A = this chain, B = another copy of it.
Amino acid sequence: MAPTLHDVARLAGVSIKTVSNVVNGHPHVRPSTRAAVERAVAELGYTPNLTARNLRSGRTGAIALAVPDLSLSYFAELAGMVIARAEERGVVVLVEQTGGERDRERELLRSPRLGLTDGLILSPLGLDATDLAARPGAYPTVLLGERVFDAAIDHVTMRNIDAAQAATSHLLASGRRRIAVLGAHEDDGEGAAGLRLQGHRAALAAAGVAFDPALVVATRFWDRSGGADAVRDLLARGVDVDAVFGLNDTLALGAIRALQEAGRRVPDDVAVVGFDDLDEARYSIPSLTTIDPGRRWIAQTAVDTLLGRVADSAPGGPRVLAADFTLRVRESAPGLPRR
């Protein structure tokens, strides 16, 4: 059995209150007493029981992070940054995977498991505003990523429309006109896909280039095989293409793969841009021109915002915080017009 405050108190010949004071670094303890207690702590190898402390204090010192899937690099890198920030702030992170499924996201919101944590950072894919409105009580929650709900909840988001517009404008500026878009979903007006597509169309409109629906390809998942399949589909349909905008980096990387298989040179024949600025975007061949959506800022801001709510030190209505983005120009879509 692990030693308790009582054991330490008995050994040190003091009361448990005194031990508690020492353990918690309270100032008003006589040095000699403190020393005696510390000796007893060391001798017994005493470690506070955090569960008991949590029950008493109503805090757990842990937060939950729910993402679709850690095997997706975007979420893995995001999770790493959230955990790093949480560590700096002295809290630990419980990671859940939702698979991006609405049911599991919804279930999560009403799970008693949340009682194990002080708050939740949720990166939703399937959820809608109704689900969020129905969520119990005032459990501190921060929503992450692209979607913006009407629901009265803190959001930390990115500037999808503007960033996508910048990506497409970059392609247009280098002389591309037949730009395929990979990863659209049916009627996804509010999701990342819808917003980015919107930015894409805005760029086309600004440049006076007509939008051709035949260039928009839906994919089941936003992964490499989705991007590769989408390109194969386009080529099989004989669609004329001189650029590809993957709505995320893995789609774009899969696209590069399929283009090269088909004998198209990147960027000479087809330029490719992505969205996310994954670590591997710097090392792919060719390296990937992409949007850095400000992920580190998003991770840090999400943690800080959540902890502010937990501590109730950040009162006020729900906030929407949007990260700044950056276009990272690399080989797959250089800045110059094509030769």
Which residues of A line the B interface, CB within 8 A?
Answer: 2, 45, 47-52, 54-55, 60-62, 69-71, 73, 76-77, 79-80, 83-84, 87, 92-97, 110, 112-113, 115-116, 136-137, 223-225, 228, 253-254, 256-257, 260, 279-280, 282-285
Contact = CB atoms under 8 A, between A and B. Distances in A.
Nearest to A64: B92
Copies in the complex: 2
A333 to B, nearest CB: 16
A280 B224 contact: yes
A15 to B, nearest CB: 22
Contacts of A113: 50, 61, 92
Nearest to A227: B283
Given A48-B115, A51-B60, A284-B284, 16 more contacts: A47-B112, A50-B115, A60-B116, A62-B116, A70-B76, A73-B73, A79-B95, A92-B113, A92-B116, A93-B94, A224-B280, A224-B283, A253-B280, A254-B283, A257-B283, A257-B285
B48 A51 contact: no
B224 A50 contact: no
Given A77-B70, A283-B253, A285-B260, A83 B112 contact: no
Contacts of A256: 285
* The 8 residue pairs across chains A and B that have the minimum distance between CB atoms: A76-B76, A70-B80, A224-B283, A50-B115, A71-B80, A95-B95, A47-B112, A51-B55
Contacts of A52: 55
A95 B94 CA distance: 6
Contacts of A49: 55, 115
Contact of A95 (B45, B93, B260): B93
Contacts of A51: 51, 54-55, 60, 115-116
A94 B92 contact: yes
Contact of A225 (B80, B97, B283): B283
Of the candidates A73, A96, A137, the one having the most CB atoms from chain B within 10 angstroms of its own CB is A73
A51 B76 CA distance: 28
A163 to B, nearest CB: 22
A283 B260 CA distance: 11
A244 to B, nearest CB: 15
Nearest to A93: B95
Contacts of A116: 50-51, 60-62, 92
